[in-house]
Structure 1
C-alpha cells in the first residue's frame, strides 16, 4: 500500500498517535521535574519527550504541507495555523498568569503583578515571536526543578519557524506557478537530506545536538513524506522488522541507536499512523486532545510537585495525567474546535478585503487531503 492511497482517508491513527506522544512528554517530565533519572533516557540518550517532539514535528510537517499544497492559498494556510495554535495557547497563558501564578508565587500579589517579568512572560509566550520566557516571579522557586513554569513551550517558536520557512518556499516559487509543485517535490527532500547530514555531523563530530537542526530535519521529513506519497510504500513486511531493529539498537549502543532511530523514525511514524487497523482506530473519532495535553502538562506537574513535596514518580504520572487530560478535553471541545470552526468564515472575510496572493489550485493536482486535526477527507468542523 502506498501512502497516497490512505493519506486522504479519515480512517487512521493520527489522533491516537499524537495523544500517545503528548502523554510520553508528560511521562518523561515526571522524572525530570522530580529530579529523578529517566530510564529510557539513561539507556538511549533520548528521553520519551524527545522522541515525542520528533513525532509531532514529523506529523505536522506531513499534514501542514498537505494542507498548503492542496489548497494553495496563503490566506487559508495562515488562518489555519493561527487558529490552531493561538486561541488555546492564549487561554492557557491567561490561566497560568492570572490563576496559577498568584496561587503559587512567594511574592505578594502587588509585587507579582507589578513586576515586569510577569507581563514579559505573557507577551513573549503569547506571541512566540520575541523569544520565550520560562519564569514567573516567585513561582515554583523551591520545586525540585525550580522556577520553570512551562518548559514545554520551547518547541512552539521552532514550529512557527517551520511553518514560515515552508511558506517562504511556496511564495518564493510564485514565479513558476505551473511547475511549483514539481519543484517542491525535489526541493523539500533535498532540504531534508541536507538537514539530516547536519544532524549527524553535529552529533558525531561537533558534539553539538542543535535542537533547531533536528527539528528542521523532522519537520521536512514529514513534508517529504507527503510530496513522495506516490512512491512511498507502507508495508508490515518493512515496518515490524524496522521497529524491532530500533528497539534492539537501544540495548546495544547509544550511537547505534541514534543512527538507526534518526534514519527510521519518519517511516515508522507514518506506518504507525496508517497500518494498524480495527478497533484501535475508534479513538480517532474522539478528538485531538494532544495539543491541550502538551501545553498544560508542565505547569500542572509543577503545581503538583509544589503541593505534594516528595511525591513519587508514578504518583506524579497518574495524578498529572488525570488533571491534564481533563484540561485538554475542555480545551479541545470549548476552545480549539470552536476556533477552528471559524476558519472558513475568516478566510472568506480576508479574501473579500485582501487581494488573493496566490491561486488556490494548480490544474491537475488532487485537492483531496485528510483534515489535519480529525482526519476527515471531507468537510468537517475543524477543517484546516
Structure 2
C-alpha cells in the first residue's frame, strides 16, 4: 500500500488500542528519543550554566528533560503493567531486577573507579581521593540499591556549572522501581485483573490532587514537580522518596497503566492525536502543563507508538540503547564540561555527548545488559508448544518446507514482549 494511503488510514481510522498496538510498535524508538532528549536538555545546565532547554519557553512549567522523563514513565506504566499481568509475581520482580540492576551497578563502578579517578587526576586531586569520607568506595556503598544517597565523589567537579554531582540522571530510577513494586503488589493481590477500578481510582485521586496544586498558580502554570509541602518517605533500599516528584511521576506511570488495563476501550485516532498534540503544546506554552498537557502527551505517545513507520519499529528490538544512554550521558557530559568542550559551542558539546553516550550504551548493552537479560528465563522450560502443521497455511504454497514453518513458529514463540527489554 502506498505510504500516503497508510498515513491517511492512520489519521482517519479509530481502532482500539488493543488492536492498533501490535508487536511492531514504536516503544523502542520513543525510549531512545527520550534518552537523547535528556542529553540535549542537560546540555544547557551542565555545559552552559543556563536553564533546561525549553524551561523559559514554558514559563517554568517544564523543560525538555522533564517532558522526556514524563514520556518514559507513561510508556513504562503501560509496558510494566502488561508484564505484571502476564508473569508471576516472582518472575516479574526477577525480570525487573535483571533489567535495571546490572547496568546500573556497572555504571556505578565505572563512575567510581574509572571516570572519577580520571577527573581527580585532571583536577590534581588524586592525593586523598581514595581515602576521602565521600570517596569512590562510599559512593558505591551509598548508592548500590538504586536509592541515591551520595551524588559527589571526593569533592570533585566543584567548578562545573552543576557542581559536584557525577550522575544526576539516576534519581528517577528509585521512583521507577517503586512503581514496579506497586505493580507487583497489585498483581499478587489480583487487583490488576479483577479490580481495574482500583487502579483507575488511584490515578483519579492523583490527578485530582495535581489539579488542586495547580490551582494556586496563575494560568495553571504549575511546574511539573509542584511543591506539595508533604514530607518525604525514607524507604529501605530506595532511599528518600520526595512527594513533590512521586505524585506527578505516579500520575504519569498510572496513565500508562490505565491505557493497558482499558486498551480495548481506548480508541486510537489520528485526528484525536493531532488535537492532543495541539493541547500539549498550548498547555506547555500558556498554562496547564500538569493538568492538561500530560494527559494529552500520554494519548499522543500511545498513538505514535501504534503508528510508528515500520523502519523505526526495529529500533530497540535487537539492540536497546535507551537505558544505557540515559544512565551514562550525565557523567559523560560532566566530564566533557571539565575538559572545556562547551567552549566550542552547544552543537559541538551536545554532538560529542551524544556520540560518546551511544558508544557507552552500545558497550553496556553487549557486555552487561544483554547477557543479564539471558537469565530471565531461568527455571522455565525451554520448550514451547507449537501449532500442528496444517495441510496448507494461508500465504504459503503446498511446497512450503516443513522446516521453514517450524523455524517461523519457534521464532514467534521465543520473541520477547516489549516489556522484557525495558
The TM-score by the shorter chain falls in which range? 0.7 to 0.9
Q: Please say if residues 80 and 343 of structure 1, whose CA atoms lie closer than 8 Å, have aligned partners that are also in contact.
A: yes
Distance 1:248 1:96 in 2: 40
> How far 1:78 sits from its partner (Å)?
0.8
Distance 1:39 1:54 in 2: 15
Q: Which residue of 2 aligns with 1:121?
A: 139
Which of 281, 284, 289 does residue 247 from structure 1 map onto? 281
Residues 1-384 of structure 1 aligned to structure 2 (within 5 Å): 1-7=15-21, 9-33=22-46, 34-44=48-58, 45-71=61-87, 73-105=88-120, 106=123, 108-109=125-126, 111-118=128-135, 119-129=137-147, 131-171=148-188, 173=189, 181-183=193-195, 185-205=196-216, 208=227, 210-251=244-285, 253=286, 255-308=287-340, 310-345=343-378, 347-348=379-380, 378-380=413-415, 384=420
SS at match of 1:234: strand
- Tell me: CA distance 1:301–1:216, structure 2 relative to 1, closer, same or farther (3 Å): same
SS at match of 2:199: helix
- Tell me: CA distance 1:39–1:169, structure 2 relative to 1, closer, same or farther (3 Å): closer
SS at match of 1:344: coil
Distance 2:65 2:49 in 1: 15
SS at match of 2:24: coil
Q: Please say if residues 26 and 313 of structure 2, whose CA atoms lie closer than 8 Å, have aligned partners that are also in contact.
A: yes
- Tell me: CA distance 1:159–1:198, structure 2 relative to 1, closer, same or farther (3 Å): same
Structure 1 or 2: more helix by fraction: 1
> How far 1:348 sits from its partner (Å)?
4.4
SS at match of 1:127: coil
The two structures, once aligned, show a CA RMSD in angstroms of 2.3
Q: Please say if residues 341 and 381 of structure 1, whose CA atoms lie closer than 8 Å, have aligned partners that are also in contact.
A: no
Q: Please say if residues 19 and 289 of structure 1, whose CA atoms lie closer than 8 Å, have aligned partners that are also in contact.
A: yes
> How far 1:165 sits from its partner (Å)?
1.7
Distance 1:330 1:316 in 2: 21
Distance 2:272 2:416 in 1: 36
Q: Please say if residues 79 and 343 of structure 1, whose CA atoms lie closer than 8 Å, have aligned partners that are also in contact.
A: yes
Distance 1:55 1:39 in 2: 16
Q: Which residue of 2 aligns with 1:356?
A: none
The structure with higher relative contact order (CA 8 Å, sep 6+) is 1
Distance 1:378 1:208 in 2: 47
Q: Number of paired residues?
A: 346
> How far 1:153 sits from its partner (Å)?
0.9
Distance 2:141 2:55 in 1: 33
- TM norm structure 2: 0.77
Deviation digits for residues 228-277 of structure 1 (CA, Å, limit 9, x no counterpart):
011011111211122123224444x1x23443212312111111111233
SS at match of 1:181: helix
